[in-house]
Amino acid sequence: MNDSKNAVVTTTGGRVEGSYEDNLYVFKGIPYAAPPVGKLRWEPPQPVKPWDGVRPAKKYGNMAPQNAMPFAMPGMPAFEEPQSEECLFLNIWTPGIDDAKRPVMFYIHGGAFIIGAGSEPVLKGGKLARRGDIVLVSINYRLGALGFLNLNEVTGSKIRATGNEGILDQIAALDWVQDNIAAFGGNPDDITIFGFSAGGMSVGTLLGIPLARGKFHKAMNRSGAANVVAPLDNAVKMSERYLELLDLTGRDADALRNLTPQQLLDGQQQLSMKVRETESRATPFIPVVDGVKIPEWPIDAIKKGLSKNIPVMAGNALDELKAPNMMMDPAMHNMNEAELNRRLNKLLPSDMVPGLINTYRDALKKRGSKADFADVLGTVGVDLMFRMTTLQLVEAQRDNGAPAYNYLFTYKSPAMGGVLGAMHGLDNPFLFGNLEPQLCGTGPAVENLAVKIQDSAIAFARNGNPSCESIGEWPAYGRERMTMILDKDTRVEGAPYEDERCAWEGYEISHTLPL
């Protein structure tokens, strides 16, 4: 580390001092909003109170309160930052604190809206910023019951939380970036929002709500589209169940405000376990179509042209959460035809189910998979939750005349004997340049794939088009459904896995509760 260069920048809140590391200026733990504590718990984010002197910005800020993740990916290090409700911080990696007006890549972390932070170990070193001569920003936002619990209805507006406070945090961070990023060498008129999993779903939500209009200029959805939002009645039901577990009612607003973060997390853990057991849901806490902050289904707003001027690059991993979900659900190991039909009939119109089962069974056999009942259910679940909703988003932007690009990450992890496949999040180390050998494998082909993924993301942030020298021409999705296959043999294919896609035609997915 070299701190010899002056790394002091003036922001709207005051001066901050970062560090100079490996040819990058690095600023960590900058507050972008007031701490949402005390009377500000469950309130929309408020402006930062300015400070005197120079505030150190060399260590990450607190993570949002969260329980341990239910499934640890092999080889992925754990977070080390402390947790606190005082968590609204962002981090910046920039090649220069000058007037260069570099493109800005604004990263929203994933974690099912209940875990994660902008200090993810995969971001270490800010390598994407150095490689692309761009400014990289990562953020924290409120999670779980503190960020996505609707309390307005159940408390009779004594607590006005809509269940979208975490999304409002993201918008507040975007406002901060627009106001301040020029001082860090970035261009406030060239911001690409991108995110993974719940972060990708957040990007889809931001594309579909008026509050975010004009605050970003390109969008990259990775393993998450515009579909994970709850209808208001479902959010209210979750709030009621949550209060029951805490032995409270909507009349107990003051008692609810006075609960410690750990008490809130304990209740959150209990509710999460119950909805996983009864509804196979990953989390009860997601953004809410409340009619105000989120006026309508985000995908409907996108189809109507709310973000028709925003280039979109979106895609998925082939297997996403298929393997982890099977590992965490013992019933999957004894799946039979009756249980397969029962589960799919809970998720989909009953007249679709027989055709889907037949199509996916045949398609899986062609892929060389077992095509047993669990395999069919897992693959249908991946496509319902991730791939078909991503294609729906890409097609909406295509039909609105916006540049729209699609990819499918099919490289399979060598970890655990290959059982994880092309799993959810495996592409993160490739994108951020921090390959973990156990999870990602080793060798020139792996390193070459990482270069192509990084360069295409940087090219998209710069030009709204992911074509670049290393990956070659990347055509828009178009009517031919042109898709970049990201694997050791990187290539463009027209309409890959078309039989499966056709099986969903005519079925509009306005929202999907997280599986």
Residues serving a catalytic function are: 197, 320, 424
Burial class (CB in 10 A: 0-12, 13-18, 19+), 72: exposed
CA pair distance 122, 428, nearest whole angstrom? 7
| Residue pair 280/189 in contact by the 8 Å Cβ criterion | no
CA pair distance 459, 447, nearest whole angstrom? 18
Q: Following DSSP, what letter does each residue of 290-343 receive, concatenated?
A: -SSSS-S-HHHHHHTTTTTTS-EEEEEESSBTHHHHHHH-GGGGG--HHHHHHH
Q: How many CA atoms lie within 13 A of 135 on its CB side?
A: 29
Structure tokens at 276: 């996983």
| Residue pair 384/512 in contact by the 8 Å Cβ criterion | yes
**Local structure of residue 386 (DSSP, 8 states):** I
Beta strands per DSSP E along 63-158: 89-94, 102-108, 135-139
Could you write out the three-class secondary structure of 393-437? HHHHHHHCCCCEEEEEECCCCCHHHHCCCCECCCHHHHHHCCCCH
Structure tokens at 236: 């209210």
Q: How many CA atoms lie within 13 A of 188 on its CB side?
A: 14
CA pair distance 237, 511, nearest whole angstrom? 17
Angle of the 373-382 helix axis to the 353-367 helix axis, nearest 10: 100
Residues 6+ apart with CB under 8 A from 84: 62, 63, 65, 261
Largest CA distance in the chain: 67
Sign of CA dihedral 257, 261, 264, 268: positive
CA–CA distance from 141 to each of 3, 39, 66, 464 (Å)? Answer: 29, 18, 12, 26
Instruction: With H, G, I as helix, E, B as strand and everything else as coil, classify residue 268.
Output: helix
H or E segment to which residue 448 belongs: helix 444-463
Structure tokens at 507: 């079925």
| Residue pair 62/91 in contact by the 8 Å Cβ criterion | no
CA pair distance 49, 176, nearest whole angstrom? 13
The amino acid sitting at 363 is A
CA pair distance 370, 353, nearest whole angstrom? 19
CA pair distance 325, 515, nearest whole angstrom? 9
